[in-house]
Chains A and B, each alone.
Chain A
């Protein structure tokens, strides 16, 4: 018999006898299912968060903040400075030659989460007339656009589904009078979906705020960043910084992003390590159980390689069953679920790359847990193995 046929024969034998080792084998399956379920859930949440930020930012958009401010906190741009910033070379202009840019102001407002009734903060973003060109991905799905000068708001789709009191016609209490929700917009999954949008001047009047928080501009191209940045940071009359939109959001949510990623990695690898030892235990026991069987095969002329491979494949099969179970657990329990993290609505999506990572982890566990028992099985002296008969 050639090696391939030998491998096939040994493999059939080991898989057929698998049901006799059901108890110990389920250690691998259950352990692996737990590892993969936890790892995939956390990793998918981290990826979901990243996706929200990626979809919500464009490489050709820049946020201008006061030097020293962290995010919008402590950022304050005067009415005198705003036109200078907007007029910077490198800023995209529309057909009328007007710069595509807007001044912005932000108000954090407390809302009640539908899921647990707890209070969470979300942002009202006050924007100027060019806003829909700065953020062309914000698209109205219900109601109408707000009118400048009026206390009217658009709400993001995710904010509407997560928080109470954001239906069209609902009133939001702000100083100086109520604001009415007049429309719903979506950015198809971006961070903007977790916010609300209104008129910048009206919002500043309501908050009795004299300065803008930030200026947001579209550039001619993503490569214009160096030009825009140089122009505004070297202008001695300005004390501002230009930040790419993606960097701005990454910084803002850095803590939560890092926490999710490290937890997924730390928990996943520690649990996987535990499962490796469980798998070693199971596979050593399996090899010991099948001592006579393996001895007999070797006496009949089967080589060492088919034995090694059959043990490894058995470990792989068990880990694969576990990985599939774990993936299903994560998928059924969490896929599509929405989580409010630091005011951002994040949709957990179990995606193929994450499943791939989970399966990779399972394969690694199988190889580490199966290799040494496999080698022991192949090295077992035939005479000793047969003596056990």
Chain B
């Protein structure tokens, strides 16, 4: 502790350099914080995607599949619940306000229990035609609340020839696994199926399948695919996890790219701090020699150098990570990435650990330089 004034004086001897070093470290850690948040976010999105939930789609694009598949899939051993859904594409008031309406049958919430309205509400949904749940994000976007009646102009025509579908908002729901991201209007399957006038009655877009054992996800998926391979409506099936991974990989090799940029930023960081610290030590070699003459051990001098470095690295990292946490919601929200727009604590912790690593790695060359110069030589330069 008694060396604190010495370290403090050393730090502010060249005020400009210390400030600039801290600021550039800070910016590097803003980048580190944001990129690692995105990286973690992708990993988390895949991790929370379920292995015990399969989705079954038409193998070829948007061809509807007979709803009757539901009973057949439900008979496969290991399957506990199957839900079929249909849907509408449409808009609310203005062409720009796209709304995806999902028509869910009675078993929907049994399979996808990440949405958890109360059993009474679920019963209510299936009792009353036109009833619908809006997810929190969708309700917020259009200012809907329970009790509202809304009209969606959809691309699917009704029996009476109109394209306006009316819904009564029964309640607001949200996905517990990934709150605030889904934008869906959930209505009941019977209503859409009976009202549609496009000749697709009795069809489904997709089935959700809940299975007992996640380890069986691949085997059961394959079994479902095989059941319909030679039918007129073949299907593809995969666990929610696989579908999520595939969705991310459709954006190119995102995580590899992120890791590369994080590595590049880190290399620049090391180099920049290392150079600044080495230079500051080099200029003060004679002073460190004086310290040694006054009885400082070489270890003591090294401790002073490390403390100076640590102060700059840790302060820069803390400021940078705090700034990253502050702007993460803005940046991630604007990019509309499928993840929670919040920097997790794990990123802050790994960031500070990285700052310690940078401290040690950058202090080393400076210490090496000091060790090679004997106090006598250093002092002769002073003379």
Cα distance, A270 to B252, chains bound together (Å): 23
Contacts of B16 in A (CB 8 A): 284
Q: Which chain B residues lie closer than 8 Å to A119 at the CB level?
A: 246
A interface SS class: mixed
Q: Which of A34, A74, A263 contacts B155 (CB under 8 A)?
A: A74
A183 within 8 A of B: no
**How near does chain B come to A119, taking the closest CB pair, in angstroms?**
6
Q: Contacts of A381 on B, CB cut-off 8 Å? A: none
Q: List 18 A-B contacts (CB under 8 A).
A: A23-B275, A30-B267, A34-B264, A68-B89, A69-B155, A70-B89, A73-B62, A74-B90, A74-B154, A74-B155, A74-B156, A75-B155, A107-B61, A258-B335, A259-B251, A271-B31, A280-B20, A285-B279
Within the assembled complex, what's the spacing in Å between the Cα atoms of A70 and B95?
A: 10
Q: Are B17 and A285 in contact (CB under 8 A)?
A: yes
A68 and B272 form a contact (CB under 8 A):
no
Instruction: Give chain B residues whose Cβ lies under 8 Å from the Cβ of A239.
Output: 157, 163
B154 engages A68 (CB within 8 Å): yes
CB distance from A275 to the nearest CB of B (A): 8
Instruction: Say if the beta carbon of B271 comes within 8 Å of chain A.
Output: yes
Could you mark each residue 287-307 of chain A with 1 if its beta carbon is under 8 Å from any beta carbon of chain B, else 0? 000000000000000000000
* Minimum distance in angstroms from B47 CB to a CB of chain A: 18
Q: Which residues 268-286 of A have a CB within 8 angstroms of B?
A: 270-271, 273-275, 277-278, 280-282, 284-285
Interface set, chain A 3-50, CB cutoff 8 A to B: 23-24, 26-27, 30-31, 34, 37-38
B230 CB, min distance to chain A CBs, angstroms:
9
Shortest Cβ-Cβ A-B pairs, 5 listed: A74-B89, A277-B24, A274-B27, A108-B61, A74-B155
Contact A107 B63 (CB under 8 A): yes
Q: Mark B231-263, 1 if CB is under 8 A from A, else 0.
A: 111101000000000100111110000000100
B153, A68: Cβ atoms under 8 Å? yes
> If the complex has contacts A68-B154, A73-B62, A74-B156, are A118 and B272 also in contact, measured as CB distance less than 8 A?
no
From B91, B268, B271, residue with most partner A Cβ within 10 Å = B268
- Cβ A70 vs Cβ B98 within 8 A: yes
Q: Which of the 9-residue segments A137-145, A146-154, A205-213 touches chain B? A: A205-213
Q: A107-B63, A267-B31 are in contact. Are A66 and B279 (CB under 8 A)?
A: no
Residue of B98, B153, B163, B250 near A120 (CB, 8 A) is B250
Q: Which candidate, A96-104, A310-318, A336-344, is the interface stretch facing chain B?
A: A336-344
Q: B49-71 vs A: 1/0 string, CB under 8 Å?
A: 00000000001111100000000
State whether A116 touches B60 (Cβ < 8 A).
no
Asked whether any CB of chain A lies closer than 8 Å to the CB of B198, the reply is: yes
Cβ B24 vs Cβ A281 within 8 A: yes
Query: B156: which A residues are within 8 A, CB to CB?
Result: 74, 76
| Residue B110 interfacial (CB < 8 Å) | no
Residues of B contacting A266 in the complex (Cβ-Cβ under 8 angstroms): 331
Complex contacts, A270 vs chain B, CB 8 Å:
27, 30-31
Q: Is the CB of B61 within 8 A of A106?
A: yes
* Residues of chain B lying within 8 A (CB to CB) of residue A124: 60
Query: Interface size class for chain A?
Result: 35 or more
Given contacts A38-B261, A73-B62, A109-B60, 5 further A-B contacts (CB under 8 A): A67-B153, A106-B61, A118-B249, A208-B233, A211-B198
Q: Does A222 reach chain B (CB closer than 8 Å)?
A: no
- Alpha-carbon separation in the docked complex, A340 to B246 (Å): 12
Report chain A residues within 8 Å CB of B233.
175, 208
Give Cα A255 to B250, complex, Å: 12
Q: Which of A62-80 contact B (CB under 8 A)?
A: 66-70, 72-76
Q: Which of B60, B231, B251 has the most CB of A within 10 A?
A: B60
Pairwise interchain contact B155-A341, C-beta atoms closer than 8 A: no
For B268-295 the 0/1 string (1 means CB < 8 A from A) is 1001100110110000000000000000
